[in-house]
């Protein structure tokens, strides 16, 4: 029994690092021997890429292939290259078809071809069957190795069958009940087999009113079904009612974890495959595009300011104050945007409640706009000893915060309708709007009323 | 068997809304009758607060109490007020001690007191035992109703015991093996009871090398243990080795979901309890503080610009270009910050790899700084037909992006050491740094070299 050491990753990293520096192989093996594949994966990803292949060689052989599945795409791809194709092919031997398909998603194409070529034809067909479903769907996620029984069997037959099976998939909480032609009928809880007399028929204890999904459902939808119905496993059934496999809770926990990572990284224009310890050049390249997109929006804002050069030339205080209007609008808009992104992810925003929501967000923009306009107006008025400048900045602030509330909601709704992920591009578009409107309204009002 | 309708929340919302508008109670009952508590909770949260009490009255009575547990704090609190204390007390009757403690976290204090007063003393003691653990720990999360057996029993005894139990907790995948004095010894998979001969002793099939947690571990740590070890349940054991209860996968999925919501909302200064359909005034108030904090940082940036009023007065092009330097630094910094926040959440950043990481982030800042300095310098030089202005903005950009890489990593590390959540305040502090350094370097260099 091991008291878990989940939060002591940081000290494990330090110890492994020290052992690696000292070349102490015995200590390394000792440190890595009882780590799970997911822990080894995280450990590998906590070292610079050039040290990972060395570390890999010190991990227990059994953990090998599964470890790759827990790594991000960039990291797994690079490691596969460093440790060589033969090692991957060998490691993949312990994986089932679903896991190999997952590996194929992650590995470079050359490696994939070698991997498929090294398999016997039955296994290759199984893997290709998994790959025939689209990425990130239930079909890719499901395991085919379900334990299935017939409705007209007795529980004692089921128990004898289970006892004779050489191997039962991990975390099997329920058995699938199917007809002779594999049509899904219901599920039989493992516990129910134990709790009823042996002569009971499966059909009299099985549950038929259960959730199922078709293989084309997205990972995200599968995760929602698990959460809402407190499931440990979920049968996957095709349109004709034939049982194809089951999705298990452990995979759903991985999906939910990736969703969190995606949420943390998306608004910086990064995806969850970004490797924290990647080498400098590829990492710099991966980030450059997002900086370029941002530069275009910054240049647009500058162009707007440029339209009012003559105004600024006469009243330099405007240059000092103008970032306030843009910045407050940006923050107010991002509050609405973040709530909208969550609401869309949860499925809360429908046609019938959008008008109410829009009214609410615009009203909040107006209320907070008025509040902060008063404060900013007073501060600016005192600072430059000019009531008119205070009035103009206050008015501009109200306009920008109204627009922020409006666009903070409408931008993500429009992006979703255009099938673009609002979590990724919503913030840039919103900032462009609040910058342009902020500078335009403040400098425009100043040009009209102060010159 | 019901083909799941997870993604059709939006259309369900529209249908419920139409039925509610038409006062069609039969249709409402029909729509809501086979929804799970988690689905009803989300549905309620997709309507403005004033309509929720009406909707609540149309939900099936069984779902009631659990529904409250799936709602965000603000929403649950308001609903409790609207439907009245008696309804809550009645609904809570179906909940176990762990769930009531969860409800207590969510409800206003007056309601809690009434709730506890209405219970018999045994139940109240159980609830108070749960509440004695800190919020968001394994102790709060665990369920006490574990099924425990002795190591020296035979499997047939276990099977008879299970058959006689009036009720076995949902999703029981393994039984706890304990000594006479409740000391935790190991776990016995339900499936293993079925797969071994009835005369086998528990001790010969139980697993003793299993993960356990103490009740003081945080929810986040518990979730990590589940993910890394592919668990469906996890025993909670006190320092003396006594079994206290177990955490189940369904609760971990909820935690992971909240972590995603938190990640989406944190950088806009909102928490996951923020209610999208809250009334305007409380929502505006909840957001005002964050706007105020941002105003302070914006005023600081303005003050920096103000230091260079005389410079801007002579070269107005500086006012046009200065937002570019601040904005590019902010974006570059937020890329590093987001990666650091994820790395800290995963436990990837340790003492031994921080220097390498800092070197990497600063180098990326330098590389991308040089790249974009060249481009921005050329654009600015052409635009204002002034090579010197192009040179100055390029130099300022390099400085700001270097600082962005450096502070994007160090700010979250420092915040974590100060026990402040970097996901919440990291972005504001970083933007303050990149704004101040951006304006200071650009206008400062311009003052020295261009005047």
Assess B436–A contact: CB distance below 8 Å, yes or no: no
Cβ–Cβ < 8 Å for B233, B208? no
Higher pLDDT, B245 or B10: B245
Instruction: Decide if pLDDT at A20 tops 80.
Output: yes
pLDDT in tens, B120-150: 888 889 899 999 999 999 999 999 889 999 9
Buried b (16+ CB within 10 A) or exposed e, B415-435: bbeeeeebbbbbbbbbbbbbb
Q: How many CB atoms lie within 10 A of CB B62?
A: 11
A295/B323 Cα distance (integer angstroms): 10
Buried b (16+ CB within 10 A) or exposed e, A151-175: bebbbebbbebbeeeeebbebbbbb
> What's the token pair of residue A181?
């032609």
SS3 B392: helix
A7/B356 Cα distance (integer angstroms): 22
**Measured CA angle at B121 (ends B118, B126), to 5 deg:** 100
Query: % helix / strand / coil in chain A, to the nearest 5?
Result: 70, 10, 25
> What's the token pair of residue A115?
């991997």
Assess A287–B contact: CB distance below 8 Å, yes or no: yes
Least confident of A179-188, B3-12, B181-190: B3-12
Task: Kindly state the average pLDDT of the residues B284-290.
Answer: 93
B23/A169 Cα distance (integer angstroms): 50
Instruction: Decide if pLDDT at A270 tops 50.
Output: yes
User: Rounded to the nearest 5°, which phi and psi values hold at A167?
Assistant: -155, 130
Q: Which helix (H) or strand (E) holds B248?
A: strand B243-248
A343/A330 Cα distance (integer angstroms): 20
B32/B35 Cα distance (integer angstroms): 6
Residue A4 confidence class, pLDDT cut points 50, 70, 90: very low
Q: Which helix (H) or strand (E) holds B127?
A: helix B121-131
Bridge-based pairing of strands A243-248 and A233-237 is antiparallel
A100/A354 Cα distance (integer angstroms): 43
Name B77's bridge partners.
none
Least confident of A99-108, A186-195, A272-281, B135-144: A99-108
**Measured CA angle at B385 (ends B381, B390), to 5 deg:** 20
SS3 B71: coil
Cβ–Cβ < 8 Å for B426, B415? yes
Assess B343–A contact: CB distance below 8 Å, yes or no: yes
Give the relative orientation of helices A109-117 and A97-106 as an angle to the nearest 10 degrees. Answer: 150
pLDDT recorded at residue A77: 85
* Chain A 146-185, residues with CB within 8 Å of chain B CB atoms: 159, 162-163, 165, 168, 170-173, 184
Residue A62 confidence class, pLDDT cut points 50, 70, 90: low
Assess B300–A contact: CB distance below 8 Å, yes or no: no
- Closest by CA position to B257, among listed A72, A258, A135: A258
pLDDT recorded at residue A439: 97
Task: Kindly state the average pLDDT of the residues A22-47.
Answer: 89
Q: Which helix (H) or strand (E) holds B178?
A: strand B174-178
Least confident of A106-110, A270-274, B217-221: A106-110
* Chain B 348-387, residues with CB within 8 Å of chain A CB atoms: 348-353, 356-357, 360, 363-364, 367-368, 371-372, 375-376, 379, 383
SS3 A235: strand
Higher pLDDT, A224 or B91: A224
User: Rounded to the nearest 5°, which phi and psi values hold at A237?
Assistant: -130, 135
- Closest by CA position to A177, among listed A193, A165, A196: A193
Report CB contact under 8 Å: B209, A324.
no
Report CB contact under 8 Å: A209, B2.
yes
Residue A95 confidence class, pLDDT cut points 50, 70, 90: confident
pLDDT recorded at residue B60: 65
Question: How many residues in total does chain B contain?
Answer: 451
Least confident of A109-123, A403-417, B61-75, B294-308: B61-75
Rg from Cα positions in chain A: 29
CA distances A396 to A63, A445, B235, Å, are 60, 7, 58
Name B183's bridge partners.
B242
A408/A410 Cα distance (integer angstroms): 6
* Residues in B touching A7 (Cβ below 8 Å): 221, 224, 347
pLDDT recorded at residue A110: 78
Cβ–Cβ < 8 Å for B335, B376? no
DSSP A76-106: HHHHHHHH-HHHHHHHHTTS-HHHHHHHHHH
SS3 B236: strand
* Residues in A touching B186 (Cβ below 8 Å): 1
**Interface A:B, Cβ pairs < 8 A:** 436
Bridge-based pairing of strands A233-237 and A211-212 is unpaired
Q: Report the gap between the CA of A41 and the closest CA in chain B (Å).
A: 10
- Closest by CA position to A145, among listed A114, A121, A166, A120: A166
* Chain B 382-411, residues with CB within 8 Å of chain A CB atoms: 383
Least confident of A53-57, A85-89, A424-428, B318-322: A85-89
Instruction: Decide if pLDDT at B4 tops 70.
Output: no
Q: Which of B31, B32, B350, B438 to mutate to test the interface with A (most CBs of A within 10 A)?
A: B350
Least confident of A291-295, B7-11, B17-21: B7-11
A346/A325 Cα distance (integer angstroms): 32
pLDDT recorded at residue B169: 87
Q: Report the gap between the CA of B187 and the closest CA in chain A (Å).
A: 10
Residue A285 confidence class, pLDDT cut points 50, 70, 90: very high
A337/B268 Cα distance (integer angstroms): 9
pLDDT recorded at residue B58: 80
Cβ–Cβ < 8 Å for B96, B246? no
Nearest residue, CB atoms, A229 vs list B36, B222, B299: B36
Nearest residue, CB atoms, B331 vs list A9, A290, A343: A290
pLDDT recorded at residue A389: 96
Buried b (16+ CB within 10 A) or exposed e, B333-346: bbbbbbbbbbbbbb
Instruction: Tell me which residue has tokens 């300011």.
Output: A305
B319/B338 Cα distance (integer angstroms): 30
Task: Kindly state the average pLDDT of the residues A318-322.
Answer: 97
pTM across the whole model = 0.93
DSSP A294-341: HHHHHHHHHHHHHHTHHHHHH-THHHHHHHHHHHHHHHHHHHHHHHHH
SS3 A211: strand
SS3 B163: helix
Rg from Cα positions in chain B: 29
pLDDT recorded at residue A426: 94
Give the relative orientation of helices A249-266 and A422-449 as an angle to the nearest 10 degrees. Answer: 20
pLDDT recorded at residue B383: 96
Least confident of A225-229, B99-103, B173-177, B350-354: B99-103
Q: How many CB atoms lie within 10 A of CB B33?
A: 11
Q: Report the gap between the CA of B303 and the closest CA in chain A (Å).
A: 7
Instruction: Decide if pLDDT at B21 tops 60.
Output: yes
Residue B61 confidence class, pLDDT cut points 50, 70, 90: low
Residue B349 confidence class, pLDDT cut points 50, 70, 90: very high
Report CB contact under 8 Å: B168, A159.
no
Bridge-based pairing of strands B148-149 and B174-178 is parallel
Tell how far CA A13 is from the center of its chain: 25
pLDDT recorded at residue B123: 86
Least confident of A148-152, B29-33, B131-135, B287-291: B29-33
**Measured CA angle at B366 (ends B361, B368), to 5 deg:** 95
Q: How many CB atoms lie within 10 A of CB A145?
A: 15
B155/B205 Cα distance (integer angstroms): 9
- Closest by CA position to A249, among listed A171, A160, A327, A361: A171
Higher pLDDT, A102 or B148: B148
Residue A60 confidence class, pLDDT cut points 50, 70, 90: low
pLDDT recorded at residue A427: 93
Assess A195–B contact: CB distance below 8 Å, yes or no: yes
pLDDT recorded at residue A171: 84
Query: % helix / strand / coil in chain B, to the nearest 5?
Result: 70, 10, 25
Q: Is the dihedral of CA B268, B270, B272, B276 positive or negative?
A: negative
Instruction: Decide if pLDDT at A69 tops 60.
Output: yes
pLDDT in tens, A347-363: 999 999 999 999 999 99
Percent of chain A's residues with pLDDT above 70: 97
* Chain B 53-112, residues with CB within 8 Å of chain A CB atoms: none
Residue B401 confidence class, pLDDT cut points 50, 70, 90: very high
Residue A66 confidence class, pLDDT cut points 50, 70, 90: confident
DSSP E strands, B358-410: none
Task: Kindly state the average pLDDT of the residues A227-241.
Answer: 94
DSSP E strands, B276-352: none
- Closest by CA position to A305, among listed A322, A324, A327, A292: A322
Nearest residue, CB atoms, B227 vs list A209, A228, A253: A253
> What's the token pair of residue A289?
């595009």
Buried b (16+ CB within 10 A) or exposed e, A352-387: bbeeebbebbbbbbbbbbebbbeebbebbbebbeee
Indicate the DSSP class of residue A144: S
pLDDT recorded at residue B226: 94
Residue B62 confidence class, pLDDT cut points 50, 70, 90: low
Q: Report the gap between the CA of B43 and the closest CA in chain A (Å).
A: 7
> What's the token pair of residue A193?
């087999």
Q: Average pLDDT over chain B, rounded to whole?
A: 91
pLDDT in tens, A139-167: 999 998 899 999 999 999 999 999 999 88
Task: Kindly state the average pLDDT of the residues B13-38.
Answer: 89
* Residues in A touching B170 (Cβ below 8 Å): 230
Task: Kindly state the average pLDDT of the residues A339-352.
Answer: 93
DSSP B86-132: HHHHHHHTTS-HHHHHHHHHHS-HHHHHHHHHTS-HHHHHHHHHHHT
């Amino acid at each position: 029994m091991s008291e878990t050491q989940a939060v002591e990753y940081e000290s494990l990293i330090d110890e492994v690092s020290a052992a690696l520096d000292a070349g102490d192989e015995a200590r390394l093996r000792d440190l890595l021997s009882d780590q799970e594949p997911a822990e080894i994966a995280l450990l590998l990803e906590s070292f610079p890429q050039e040290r990972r292949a060395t570390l890999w060689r010190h991990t227990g052989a059994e953990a090998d292939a599964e470890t790759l599945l827990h790594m991000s795409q960039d990291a797994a791809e690079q490691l596969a290259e460093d440790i060589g194709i033969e090692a991957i092919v060998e490691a993949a031997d312990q994986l089932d078809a679903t896991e190999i398909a997952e590996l194929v998603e992650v590995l470079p194409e050359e490696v994939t071809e070698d991997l498929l070529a090294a398999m016997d034809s039955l296994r290759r067909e199984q893997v290709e069957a998994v790959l025939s479903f689209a990425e990130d769907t239930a079909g890719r996620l499901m395991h085919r190795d379900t334990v299935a029984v017939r409705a007209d069997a007795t529980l004692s037959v089921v128990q004898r069958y289970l006892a004779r099976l050489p191997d039962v998939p991990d975390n099997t909480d329920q058995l699938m009940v199917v007809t002779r032609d594999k049509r899904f009928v219901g599920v039989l809880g493992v516990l129910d087999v134990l709790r009823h007399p042996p002569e009971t028929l499966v059909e009299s204890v099985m549950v038929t009113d259960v959730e199922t999904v078709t293989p084309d459902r997205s990972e995200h939808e599968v995760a929602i079904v698990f959460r809402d119905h407190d499931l440990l496993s979920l049968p996957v059934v095709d349109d004709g009612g034939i049982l194809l496999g089951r999705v298990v809770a452990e995979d759903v926990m991985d999906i939910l974890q990736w969703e969190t990572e995606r949420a943390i990284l998306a608004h910086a224009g990064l995806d969850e495959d970004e490797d924290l310890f990647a080498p400098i050049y590829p990492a710099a390249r991966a980030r450059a595009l997002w900086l370029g997109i941002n530069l275009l929006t910054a240049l647009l804002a500058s162009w707007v300011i440029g339209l009012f050069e003559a105004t600024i030339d006469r009243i330099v205080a405007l240059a000092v104050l103008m970032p306030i209007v843009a910045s407050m609008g940006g923050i107010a808009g991002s509050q609405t945007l973040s709530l909208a992104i969550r609401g869309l992810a949860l499925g809360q925003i429908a046609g019938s409640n959008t008008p109410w929501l829009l009214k609410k967000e615009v009203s909040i923009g107006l209320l907070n706009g008025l509040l902060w306009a008063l404060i900013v107006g007073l501060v600016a008025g005192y600072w430059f000893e000019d009531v008119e400048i205070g009035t103009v900045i206050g008015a501009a602030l109200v306009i920008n915060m109204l627009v922020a509330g409006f666009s903070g909601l409408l931008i993500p709704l429009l992006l979703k309708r255009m099938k673009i992920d609002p979590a990724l591009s919503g913030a840039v578009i919103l900032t462009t709007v609040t910058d342009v409107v902020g500078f335009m309204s403040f400098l425009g009002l100043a040009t009209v009323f102060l010159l």
